[in-house]
Chain A
Amino acid sequence: MLALNNVEVMYDDVILVLKGLSLQVPEGKIVALLGSNGAGKTTTLKAISGLLKTEEGEVTDGSIEFLGKRIDGRDAATIVRMGIFQVMEGRRVFEHLTVEENLRAGGYTSKGDGNLKNKLELVYNYFPRLIERRNQKAGYLSGGEQQMLAIGRALMAKPKLMLLDEPSLGLSPMLVQEIFGIVRKINQEERATILLVEQNARIALGIADYGYLMENGRVVLEGTPEKLQDNEDVKEFYLGLTDVGKRKSYRDVKHYKRRKRWLS
């Protein structure tokens, strides 16, 4: 469905952030994109959704194809209309608009208001908590509710591909569980393909069908969640487990530092 081939992204004509990144998102699947801070995960999503331009970023090499058509270089509005919707990092709800107005803004690209009711209904079905808050300003929602609203906004556009950027950011473990459960449900029931960027590798691999691990602007490891979870380096650096598979304890700190064994 979505294919990135050797994509290079440069900011301000000087800073090379993505250095030949390739990945595939097959239709109907959840693909996780993992990596530490500054690996280039968000940049990858922005390159796909066309939001790079507002930040002086540019795809300088390689190609991004969606449903067989090249989309690199197109503007964000066109890409949304083609069916890609990015849920930005940090929720980014419109604080001074009510919940319902936020949702309507999310459905901006869909034509006609005829099925507006149905779509609102759909969103409230997934996120019942938003119903009671529908006429409140979004700025006064709790963090979890705002994240729900952000995902709800995406649902309003009925996207074929949803790009989720760190939906777990700043949420309690319980809420993270709840939101990821809903993401899974959306994937199954709405047939929305999902590309998920996460720092929380454990939970992301828990729902993903396939995973990529990024470091320094390229993919260093890819595979099924099982394969990634079994990788010693992933265990050590992303899941916080020691060789034996136990939770790492700071009581017995190792006196050597494990080095990553992939080539980067």
Chain B
Amino acid sequence: MDFFLLLLVNGLVVGSIYALVALGFVLIYKSSDVLNLAQGELVMLGAYICFAFVVQYNIPFFAAFVLTLVFSTILGLSVERVVLRPLIGQPIISVIMVTIGLSSVLRALVQAFWGTDTRPFPTIVSEAPVMLGSIPISQVYIYSLAVSLVLLAIFTAFFRYSKTGIAMRAVADDQQAALSMGISVRRIFAMAWIIAAVVSAIGGIMVGLINGINISLSYMGLKVLPVAILGGLDSIPGAVIGGLAIGVLENLSGGYIDPIVGGGVKEVAPFVFLVFILMIKPYGLFGKEIIERV
């Protein structure tokens, strides 16, 4: 039972980070119908930038954290300006291909600056585990879970109630009609990329705190893609539930099945689950269905 609970808690923590990164996918997809294949690289870059601030420049963690968010904001803004704006009005597939290119460039940059070795993050949060009943949970897990949940709640409210959030959804629905009511589509795209870069960086930092960082952090993108698709590519609650579900599933299958078959199930399980869900609900669990009036 304890083993199960341990796996469950680990799953929830990892899942909440997945949910955060999936939020990045969802935001960009929601406002511009583009699948951002450089999402994982945004995660990685955010983690490395924070790492650089803390370890190489000796800036206290919280200041470094804020500086990383500022950096991500600028990164999101410049990606929109330099890479995406020239592509407005071009087919979506071209934009998606460009994000693949962007991912290569970012990965190469990180390798050029920091190499490929795994770097441990200095200990920020005390390592003494907290006991939850009979299971020990490390404090960093609790913090990342809390941060993720708070951020997810903020963004859910933002999209439902704020004017800008509604405008972003309006742009996703019908760009030209949104334009006709004075919503600047370019600004909305820039916002989406900024938020995506920021949440990815936060996700990256938290993974870094838990596992240390290396270049394979960029595969997070690939791992989170099934999360986003499972929840429905354009649904924020979907990203949350998809993230938690995949996180738990991954840990449970890793804990119970891997020892029997000799490993590997942990990596495959999310995709198997995804295939089943998509057979039943092709738009994902909470994706918007195409409304057809007859």
Whole-angstrom distance between the Cβ of A54 and the nearest chain B Cβ:
6
**A83–B288 CA distance with the chains assembled, in angstroms:** 33
Residue of A nearest to B159 (CB): A101
CB of B163 within 8 A of CB of A51, answer: no
Task: Note all chain B residues with C-beta closer than 8 A to A92.
Answer: 174, 176-177, 180
CB of B293 within 8 A of CB of A139, answer: yes
**A75–B176 CA distance with the chains assembled, in angstroms:** 12
Q: Which of B3-11, B12-20, B50-58, B181-189 contacts A (4 or more CB under 8 A)?
A: B181-189
CB of B291 within 8 A of CB of A94, answer: no
* Complex interface residues of chain A between 88 and 104 (CB less than 8 A to chain B): 88, 92-97, 101-102, 104
**A109–B167 CA distance with the chains assembled, in angstroms:** 10
Measured as residues with beta carbon below 8 angstroms from the partner, the interface class of chain B is 20 to 34
**A85–B180 CA distance with the chains assembled, in angstroms:** 7
Q: Does B173 contact A (CB under 8 A)?
A: yes
Given that A54-B89, A105-B167, A140-B291 are known contacts, is A94 also in contact with B179, CB under 8 Å in the complex? no
CB of A96 within 8 A of CB of B166, answer: no
Partner of B174, one of A56, A94, A109: A94
* Complex interface residues of chain B between 152 and 186 (CB less than 8 A to chain A): 163, 166-167, 169-170, 172-184
Whole-angstrom distance between the Cβ of A140 and the nearest chain B Cβ:
7
Task: Note all chain A residues with C-beta closer than 8 A to B184.
Answer: 75, 77
CB of B169 within 8 A of CB of A101, answer: yes
Task: Note all chain B residues with C-beta closer than 8 A to A97.
Answer: 166, 169-170, 173
CB of A109 within 8 A of CB of B166, answer: no
**A86–B163 CA distance with the chains assembled, in angstroms:** 20
CB of B170 within 8 A of CB of A105, answer: yes
Partner of B169, one of A49, A94, A139: A94
Residue of A nearest to B178 (CB): A105
Residue of A nearest to B180 (CB): A86
Residue of A nearest to B89 (CB): A54
**A81–B180 CA distance with the chains assembled, in angstroms:** 11
Q: Does A76 contact B (CB under 8 A)?
A: yes
- Please classify the interface of chain B as helix (H, G, I), strand (E, B), loop, or mixed, using the class held by over half of its residues: helix
**A79–B184 CA distance with the chains assembled, in angstroms:** 11
Partner of A80, one of B169, B170, B176, B182: B182
* Complex interface residues of chain A between 238 and 255 (CB less than 8 A to chain B): none
Whole-angstrom distance between the Cβ of A105 and the nearest chain B Cβ:
4
CB of A96 within 8 A of CB of B169, answer: yes
**A80–B167 CA distance with the chains assembled, in angstroms:** 15
Q: Does A57 contact B (CB under 8 A)?
A: no
Q: Does A178 contact B (CB under 8 A)?
A: no
CB of B182 within 8 A of CB of A96, answer: no
Task: Note all chain A residues with C-beta closer than 8 A to B163.
Answer: 104, 108, 113
Whole-angstrom distance between the Cβ of B13 and the nearest chain A Cβ:
32
CB of B169 within 8 A of CB of A108, answer: no
Task: Note all chain B residues with C-beta closer than 8 A to A76.
Answer: 179-180, 182
Given that A96-B288, A104-B163, A113-B163 are known contacts, is A77 also in contact with B173, CB under 8 Å in the complex? no
Task: Note all chain B residues with C-beta closer than 8 A to A211.
Answer: none
Q: Does A106 contact B (CB under 8 A)?
A: yes
Binding site for A on B (CB under 8 A): 89, 163, 166-167, 169-170, 172-184, 288, 291, 293
Sample of 12 A–B contacts (CB below 8 Å): A51-B176, A51-B179, A56-B89, A76-B179, A92-B177, A95-B291, A105-B167, A105-B178, A108-B170, A108-B182, A139-B291, A143-B293
- List 8 extra interface pairs beyond A101-B169, A137-B291, CB under 8 A: A54-B175, A75-B184, A86-B180, A97-B170, A105-B167, A108-B163, A108-B181, A143-B293
